[in-house]
A and B are shown apart, each in its own frame.
Chain A
Amino acid sequence: MPLITRLFIKTGLVYFVISLLIGISSQIPSLHFPAITPLFWHMLMLGWITQIIIGVSLWMFPGRKKEESFQNQRLGWIAYAGLNSGLFLRVISEPLIYAYPNTIWGELLVVSAVLHFVGIGSYVLEIWPRVMSRKQRLNRRKKRK
């Protein structure tokens, strides 16, 4: 299993646990904070499920470059950095824009949206050409040789 996949899966597991802890705190009025519901759902759906899907597909889909280097897995690394920095920034800034509207937290939330876009866009660019038939995979392998 390549390093990028291990990172996606392990980060996903961390988000899974944190999202459920937030789910528990959402049921306790004294532990409530602003934007708790969207944060719970996004940590679960994006932080956990989407990261697991991305990590496993980068590993299992045909056409993977087996030699590990930043260059060979460049789009995967950009996806990891974009998605996780974007999500982390959102988790911090989204509750704070309710407490401090019209401050830097608003700008950081916009940055987080852009980072999400960069991350997911890089993943789509990486995986789209790897959605191929057996025949296409064999032809590609022949060309490489």
Chain B
Amino acid sequence: MPLISRWMIRLSLVYLLLGLTAGSLMLINKAWMVHPLLWAALPAHIEWMIFGWIIQFTLGTAYWILPRFLDSKSRGNEPMAWTMLLSLNLGIWFIIADGFSLIPYAGLSGRVLETLGVVLFALLHWKRIVTYGDHEH
């Protein structure tokens, strides 16, 4: 498993735990009112679970498991892959900051960064979505 996939998968597990903690606290808050401010964690819970956990885990696994290039045995441009990782994760934290109105235009910046991460993922993998069938004969 390449280093980038290991980073993405482990980060996704951390987000899973963060999202789970926020979700569990909100669920407990429904039964026993612990603190009304706990509901403010809802946007972070959604962001951690969808982009941090599900999407990042899937992208990290795909980077590992999709066919490598036949000629170089590589998975493509590494700096571009690191930029994808950084961009996606920065985007997640900008969106969370937006939930607390911490930084101006954080929501827009977050979505732009996430989009950049996904576009880089698509560019990195486009030519890796192939069949080896033609090369076997």
A residues sitting closer than 8 Å to B (CB atoms) are: 45, 49-50, 53, 57, 60, 62, 90, 94, 97, 105-107, 109-110, 112-114, 116-117, 120-121, 124, 127-128, 131-134, 137
**0/1 string, B11-40, CB within 8 A of A gives 1:** 001001100110111011011100000000
Q: List 28 A-B contacts (CB under 8 A).
A: A45-B49, A53-B54, A53-B57, A53-B58, A60-B65, A62-B1, A94-B27, A97-B30, A97-B31, A105-B31, A106-B31, A106-B32, A107-B31, A109-B27, A109-B30, A113-B27, A114-B24, A116-B23, A120-B16, A120-B17, A120-B20, A127-B13, A128-B10, A128-B13, A131-B5, A131-B6, A132-B6, A133-B3
Known: A128-B13, A133-B6. A94 touches B57 (CB 8 A): no
> Contacts of A137 on B, CB cut-off 8 Å?
1
Which label, helix, strand, loop or mixed, suits the secondary structure of the A interface?
Answer: helix
Closest chain-A Cβ to B74's Cβ sits at a distance in Å of 14
A90 and B9 within 8 A (CB): no
Closest chain-B Cβ to A68's Cβ sits at a distance in Å of 23
> Contacts of B32 on A, CB cut-off 8 Å?
106, 110
Known: A45-B54, A53-B54. A109 touches B13 (CB 8 A): no
Closest chain-B Cβ to A45's Cβ sits at a distance in Å of 6
Cα distance A97–B3 in the bound complex, in angstroms: 46
Q: How many residues of B contact A (CB 8 A)?
A: 28
B1 and A132 within 8 A (CB): yes
A110 and B1 within 8 A (CB): no
B residues sitting closer than 8 Å to A (CB atoms) are: 1-3, 5-6, 9-10, 13, 16-17, 20-21, 23-25, 27-28, 30-32, 49-50, 53-54, 57-58, 61, 65
> Contacts of A106 on B, CB cut-off 8 Å?
30-32
- Residue among A49, A62, A94, A113 with most chain B CB within 10 A: A113
Which of B1, B20, B30, B65 sits near A117, CB closer than 8 Å? B20
Closest chain-A Cβ to B58's Cβ sits at a distance in Å of 8
Closest chain-B Cβ to A64's Cβ sits at a distance in Å of 13
Known: A116-B23, A116-B24, A124-B16. A109 touches B31 (CB 8 A): yes
Cα distance A132–B21 in the bound complex, in angstroms: 26
> Contacts of B31 on A, CB cut-off 8 Å?
97, 105-107, 109-110
Known: A124-B16, A133-B1, A133-B6. A113 touches B54 (CB 8 A): no
